[in-house]
Amino acid sequence: MTNILVTGAGGQLGTQLTRRAADGLPVRGLTSADLDITDPDAVRDAVEPGAVVLNCAAYTAVDAAETDEAAATAGNVTGPRILAEATARAGARLVHVSTDYVFAGDASAPYDVDAPTGPRTVYGRTKLAGERAVLAADPSAVVVRTAWVYTGTGSDFVATMLRLERDRDTVDVVDDQVGSPTYAGDLADALLELATRPRVRGRVLHATNAGRASWFDLARAVFAGVGADPDRVRPCTTDRFPRPAPRPAYSVLSPASWAAAGLTPLRPWTAALDVALAELPPAYG
């Protein structure tokens, strides 16, 4: 049975991976406090021969990265490269999680894996550089791009909408940014399936829940999902909420590469959201 190492196990995706792997897969989760992926000696000691490393460790503060490029580079380029060097040396397999931010966000049809990249933020540029560093250091590695990941807890978008539903009469949400909302639990299941498919190597894949929505659409679905009036969510444009890092206007990723690899397609985002909301502790719902 394949040993699976999850790095960045304290984040929303890493937590879902270690939770879901309790069904028999031997998974070891290491948080960023347990393992600094920029430390070559520590990484070398952590990566066992024949293991599958699911790298969820990353610098994800999109806005802060605009003024802290060194930290973003360390977390998104240097660390993944060190991991890839270690997996190549040990004969292990690396699955590295990346993002829709590697694209410019100006498309009108779902991005295929070979679509031209063109990140417009420091975060996106470092994630793209990280992809390239991983595949250069370990040509058998797999890069999995995803988008709009949530659990409904903490400070993610769905959790924020749940809080605002309780606190405000109405909420203004942008309707000119489109993507594929992705439940971290479904993404975790998809990555665990990939971990058990040793023949899937040396490629880039896209994995998101199926379908597309604007943030406005997602917010309305969250309100409806907890029995609130979705008309309390009002549409607005991105310029109402200026941010240091521009958000992609279009982030829909094509599922074609995932299906071509023989992997199970992720369900529609609406169905995934229903499950995510049903699984929340009472305090969140």
DSSP type of residue 240:
G
Q: 183 an active-site residue?
A: no
Is residue 150 within 8 A of residue 158, CB to CB? The reply is yes
In 3-state terms the chain splits into helix, strand, coil percentages (rounded to 5) of 40, 15, 40
Q: Residue 119, class by beta-carbon neighbours within 10 Å (0-12 exposed, 13-18 middle, 19+ buried)?
A: buried
Q: Residue 242, class by beta-carbon neighbours within 10 Å (0-12 exposed, 13-18 middle, 19+ buried)?
A: exposed
Please pick, among 59, 101, 111, 123, the residue that the annotation labels catalytic.
123
Cα–Cα dist 22/17, whole Å: 9
* H or E stretch at 183: strand 182-183
Cα–Cα dist 95/158, whole Å: 26
End-to-end CA distance of the chain: 38
DSSP type of residue 113:
T
* Residues with catalytic function: 123
